[in-house]
Amino acid sequence: AHAEQVLGYPLGGHHVALIAWSGPHSNHDLRTVVDPVLRHWGTPTASLVIPVGLQAIWAWGAVTPDPTRALTSALPDFGDTFVVTGQLGSGMEGFRRSHLEARAVERLVRLRVGHPPTTTAHEHIALEVLLLADPEAAVQFASRLLGPLAGDDPRMADLRSTLSLYLDMDHSLAKVASAEHISKNTVTYRVQKALSLCTPPDGSTTDLRAALRIYEWLSDAPIAQW
């Protein structure tokens, strides 16, 4: 109760934490992003916003959850402003945990120098957050498995894209062909070619899927030396 009085914010109930930042030449009032983002999870009932430096905020929002919104509504984007969020949590622990999740997403987003500003939720990249807890080790892991498949030319990009879909779509040639607008024969060729270039251990696809997710996130990050 004392903490609530000091913060002017209810610590019971449900919370979502977010972090927003923009470039030095932006005149965007970052406080205006809070409620539109919170509405993705439900109805905002209170918010706490703390400036962090000149062009960044840490924020928390108390919400009345509406599960259908998260399933049917896309997170809003805000032009030249980056926004990251934690997951919906409850009580004091949820208040703390959601902020830590938002911080983890912020670290990943800041690795991708040159990517346009967007809104990124922890729930959408929770696996990447785990895989990239140690970015340099993740790069080494992915580069060892992918080998030549980590090349930055268009042909390798096509092979990676098709292989990723093939692994994610339960090895269905028809689904991948439909998703990429190519023939099933082309899917077969690309998958076989991609697998011939990389070295998944013991025929397992789990490590390979992880390596492809790491590469997709860090493909042009300055720390990555493919």
Instruction: Report pLDDT digits (tens) over 141-179.
Output: 999 999 999 998 999 999 999 999 999 999 999 999 999
**Pairwise CA distance, residues 18 & 102, whole Å:** 6
Instruction: Report pLDDT for 148.
Output: 94
Residues sharing a CB contact under 8 Å with residue 151, sequence separation 6 or more, in sequence order: 226
CATH of span 133-218: 1.10.10.2840
What's the pTM value of the predicted model, to 2 decimals?
Answer: 0.88
Identify whether the C-beta of residue 188 lies closer than 8 Å to the C-beta of residue 81: no
Instruction: Report pLDDT for 199.
Output: 81
Identify whether the C-beta of residue 106 lies closer than 8 Å to the C-beta of residue 87: no
Residues sharing a CB contact under 8 Å with residue 21, sequence separation 6 or more, in sequence order: 30, 55, 56, 57, 81, 82, 106
**Pairwise CA distance, residues 122 & 97, whole Å:** 11
Sort 30 into a burial class: Cβ within 10 Å, 0-12 / 13-18 / 19+: buried
Instruction: Report pLDDT digits (tens) over 89-138.
Output: 999 999 999 999 999 999 999 998 778 899 999 999 999 999 999 999 99
Instruction: Report pLDDT digits (tens) over 209-220.
Output: 999 999 999 987
**Pairwise CA distance, residues 165 & 169, whole Å:** 6
Identify whether the C-beta of residue 34 lies closer than 8 Å to the C-beta of residue 49: yes
DSSP secondary structure of 148-162: GGG--SHHHHHHHHH
Instruction: Report pLDDT digits (tens) over 56-98.
Output: 999 999 999 998 887 777 899 998 999 999 999 999 999 999 9
Instruction: Report pLDDT for 208.
Output: 94
Domain boundaries, the chain: 2-124, 133-218
